[in-house]
Amino acid sequence: MRILITGTPGTGKSSVSSIISRRKGWALLRLKDIAEKGCVIKKEGKEKIVDLGKLRSATLRELKGKKDAIIEGHLGCEFHLPVDFAFVLRTRPSALRRRLAKRGYPAGKIQVNLLSEMLDYCTQLSEQNNPHVLEVDTTGKSAKETSIRIIRYLEGKVKKLDQVCWKKELRKAALLHL
Ligand SMILES: Nc1ncnc2c1ncn2[C@@H]1O[C@H](COP(=O)(O)OP(=O)(O)OP(=O)(O)O)[C@@H](O)[C@H]1O
Ligand SMILES: [Mg+2]
């Protein structure tokens, strides 16, 4: 089994993928780590601009020979990967704002990430690039609870996960900024 765990920064990809990897004994491929090894084109302040083609090729090389693996990272929605399922972690914008503020992100960075969450950026791209995409709402749940839900889905013990819609939040944000 190979899975992708993607989503907006702060939705819990690293925490959730660590738990699943530990519980299932599957290899964990972190796109951030792979990108560091020769896929960063340039740095803009603290932000790193990644060559997506190189990142995909490097990820495919790392996947070789691994029957079971979890690929984790927000850039995972940007291209096709040979996975059985792509899970998109979602978080209600108000809760995501709190998580990102806790990290000390500047206001502009929080805003960009919240907008991307409200516009379903990772879900839409994942659906363009992968056939089996599932959304998982992490709001009000611990990383452990979210991991268990994903594992139960993979084991066929639950048949469906979530379908989020932050339209109301998006409308409110748009009105506030007019
Ligand atoms: N339901 C949840 N699932 C996952 N993480 C959660 C959850 N609730 C709170 N958190 C917290 O949210 C924070 C963000 O988690 P994490 O670093 O795993 O996100 P990420 O998606 O990997 O972010 P990035 O893309 O920046 O690497 C952590 O402090 C984590 O403990
Ligand atoms: Mg992470």
From first to last of its 178 residues, the chain has per-residue pLDDT tens of 999 999 999 999 999 999 999 999 999 999 999 999 999 999 988 889 999 999 999 999 999 999 999 999 999 999 999 999 999 999 999 999 999 999 999 999 999 999 999 999 999 999 999 999 999 999 999 999 999 999 999 999 999 999 999 999 999 998 987 6
Q: Which of 63, 83, 108 is nearest to 3 (CA)?
A: 83
CA dihedral (4, 15, 8, 73) positive or negative = negative
Q: Which ligand is nearest to the CA of 117?
A: 1
Which ranges constitute the DSSP H helices of 52-166? 52-63, 93-102, 107-118, 121-129, 143-154
Partner residues linked to 43 by β-bridges: 48
Pairing relationship of beta strands 133-137 and 27-30 according to DSSP bridges: unpaired
The closest residue, in CA terms, to atom 11 on ligand 1 is 12
- pTM recorded for the entire structure: 0.96
**What is the second-level CATH architecture of the domain 2-177?**
3-Layer(aba) Sandwich (3.40)
Domains of the chain: which residue ranges? 2-177
Cβ neighbours of residue 154 closer than 8 Å, sequence gap 6 or more: 1, 3, 85
Q: Which residues line ligand 1 (CB under 6 A)?
A: 7, 9-16, 74, 99, 138, 141-143, 146
d(CA 129, CA 168): 27
Calpha distance 124→178 (Å, rounded): 26
